[in-house]
Amino acid sequence: MITIDDVKKVEIRAGKILSAEPIEGSEKLLKLSVDFGEDVPRTILSGIAKYFPGGEGLSGITCGFVANLEPRPMMGLESQGMILATSGENYFSLMKFGDDVPPGALVK
């Protein structure tokens, strides 16, 4: 079990995906450019290429992201967050938000 203080440490924000592209040498990873309402978009690497071949269908959607995750090097790039999704043997779904939710909005 975790405490409410543990939950408060996780900063979940809405991020608008500006672009998504495959990463050379990886069958699983996509490189996402994500707007969090900051001056510069963040790069987020995600193992969702199976569900979005070539990154198709991701640009322009707003999803939930862990925004305060420690940056992690992967495939020679740095991932600056994590997209939120649910998946199982027969399903996959991103945590999507409506078009009226602004980039950077905090999930409470």
4-97 folds as: OB fold (Dihydrolipoamide Acetyltransferase, E2P) (2.40.50)
pLDDT at 90: 94
Closest CA relative to residue 95, chosen from 87, 56, 8, 103: 87
Using alpha carbons only, give the angle 108, 104, 38 rounded to the nearest 5 degrees: 150
pLDDT at 56: 95
Q: What are the domain boundaries of the chain?
A: 4-97
53 three-class SS: helix
pTM, entire model: 0.94
pLDDT at 58: 98
Burial level of 83, CB count in 10 A (0-12/13-18/19+)? buried
105 — pLDDT class (breaks 50, 70, 90): very high
Closest CA relative to residue 42, chosen from 61, 60, 65: 65
Specify the pairing of strand 42-46 against strand 30-35: antiparallel
